[in-house]
Amino acid sequence: MQRDEVKRKVKLAVVAVAGRPIRCEVCDEVMVKAIPIIWKGDVKLIGAETGLVSVDFASMNRLVFRHVEVAACPARRP
Amino acid sequence: MPGATPVTTLTVVLTHVDAATAGEQLRLLGGIAPGERFAVCHGGKRADFDALDLDAKAFVDDPTLRGAPRSFQSYHLTFAAVWDHWVRDDPSIDAVYVIEYDHLVLRGDYAQRLGAIAAQTGAGLLGKEASLRTGTNWEHYGRFRRDPALLAHLRRVSVREDPTLIYGTLGDGMWLSRAALADYVTVENHPPCYGELYVPTLVHHLGHRIVNLAEHSNLYDHVRWDPAYAPAEVRALHAAGATFAHPVKDLDVWREVAAHASPGTSVTSGDGYQV
Ligand SMILES: [Zn+2]
């Protein structure tokens, strides 16, 4: 197994255990599990890459997320 | 689809496969949708293109199509070929529908269904989850959000208030209005970019509406990037009246669908399939 693949699998295993659910603000479903850290001036959400999500500020210190894909969001499906 | 204005669509199959397979797939599509017009853009070996027994064919020698998957694949040469070969001099064509070689049509009325949604929404481009990707974690948005060449290009050509907005869609199954394609092919000096981002982004900035099919229909419920659909899944989708399946690699199931084609009507179970 390649080194990157090992790293990816370890990361996913850690996220599965220690990650916190991130919910869609529209449908309230859990989209991904992630571990937030502040690193070199950025906020990283380790694990967020497992889903396709959009982000926005809902207040001065609160980020909210939603499904990008309509087909994945029960509240927006026709 | 009562009341829908008929739309003349040219369905363009993008392929790289051998001549015998590409020719058979076109014949099968023609059998499934006998009322539709098809053409092939071949991006594979020149010898396969030359051996392809079909009038409506164009060779597209685009080096970006041979690059690493999901890197810088572009549609510029393909769209230019489609425009030059079939659309420019044929005002009867209202739209082009661009599908990959493993995109299986299951219903003969697919083009009228797409055309009806386009008419209802005023779409310039219809696509699978075609939508604004600015402010998302889509990997290609991350790659190009600050790309100087792309942003400078969009500032030059955009008719929109915000020339930095980025859109995305699945590359397979893009429907473009004639007007959107006409505007696209007049643009020169495209920056290196990725087609699933660049096409909807440019079409938006040229003033056309990007429409996500998922907001208006279930037509693309069984169109996905991967994995490929198994033959049993395809049979079940066809029997249930689904419109498309992608990807479908198994040619035998294409033959089965064509043999059971029932253009324009929903195929119900019990039509001979072992579902
Ligand atoms: Zn949602």
| Ordered DSSP codes for B64-76 | GGGSSTTSS---H
How many angstroms is it from A22 CA to the middle of ligand 1? 11
**Would you say how long chain B is, in residues?**
275
- Reported confidence tier of residue B261, pLDDT bands at 50, 70, 90: confident
Does the beta carbon of B138 lie under 8 angstroms from any beta carbon of chain A?
A: yes
- Reported confidence tier of residue B7, pLDDT bands at 50, 70, 90: confident
- The position carrying tokens 């199959």 is B13
pLDDT recorded at residue B69: 78
Q: Are the CB atoms for B206 and B184 separated by under 8 Å?
A: yes
Tell me the pLDDT of chain B averaged across its residues: 92
Q: Give chain A's domain count.
A: 1
A70, A73, A76, A77, best to mutate vs chain B, most B CBs in 10 Å: A70
Q: Test A71 with B138 for CB contact under 8 angstroms.
A: no
Is residue B191 in some structural domain?
A: yes
Chain A positions contacting chain B at CB under 8 Å are 48-49, 51-56, 68-71, 76-78
Q: Is the pLDDT of residue B116 over 80?
A: yes
Q: Is the pLDDT of residue B263 over 90?
A: no
- How far, in Å, are A65, B162, B194, B254 from residue B159 at the CA level? 29, 9, 21, 43
How much is the average pLDDT of B163-181?
98
pTM, rounded to two decimals: 0.92
How much is the average pLDDT of B266-271?
37
pLDDT recorded at residue B269: 35
Q: Is the pLDDT of residue B2 over 50?
A: no
- Reported confidence tier of residue B175, pLDDT bands at 50, 70, 90: very high
Q: Is the pLDDT of residue A78 over 90?
A: no
- Reported confidence tier of residue B274, pLDDT bands at 50, 70, 90: very low
Residue B227 preceded by cis peptide, ω within 30: yes
pLDDT recorded at residue B120: 97
Query: Each residue of B222-240: pLDDT tens digit?
Result: 999 999 999 999 999 999 9
DSSP B118: H
Nearest 5°: CA angle at B172, between B43 and B1?
Answer: 125
pLDDT recorded at residue B146: 98
How many angstroms is it from B83 CA to the middle of ligand 1? 39
Is residue B233 in some structural domain?
A: yes
| Ordered DSSP codes for B234-249 | HHHHHHTT-SEEB---
Enclosing H/E stretch for B13: strand B9-15
Q: Is the pLDDT of residue B210 over 50?
A: yes
ipTM: 0.94
Structure tokens, B113: 């269904």
Q: Give chain B's domain count.
A: 1
The dihedral through the CA atoms of B17, B86, B74, B234 has a sign that is: negative
pLDDT recorded at residue B65: 78
The dihedral through the CA atoms of B226, B129, B202, B148 has a sign that is: negative
Does the beta carbon of B142 lie under 8 angstroms from any beta carbon of chain A?
A: no
pLDDT above 70 as % of chain B: 93
Does the beta carbon of B216 lie under 8 angstroms from any beta carbon of chain A?
A: yes
CA distance B13 to chain A (A): 25
- Reported confidence tier of residue B265, pLDDT bands at 50, 70, 90: very low
Query: Each residue of A8-57: pLDDT tens digit?
Result: 899 999 999 999 999 999 999 999 999 999 999 999 999 999 999 999 99
pLDDT above 90 as % of chain A: 86
Question: What is the CATH classification number for the domain harbouring B47?
Answer: 3.90.550
Domain that holds residue B170: 9-259
| Ordered DSSP codes for A13-63 | HHHHHH-EEEEBTTT--EEEEEEEEEETTEEEEETGGGS-EEEEESSSS-E
Enclosing H/E stretch for B253: helix B251-259
Q: In chain A, which residues have their Cβ closer than 8 Å to the Cβ of B216?
A: 78
Domain that holds residue A71: 3-76
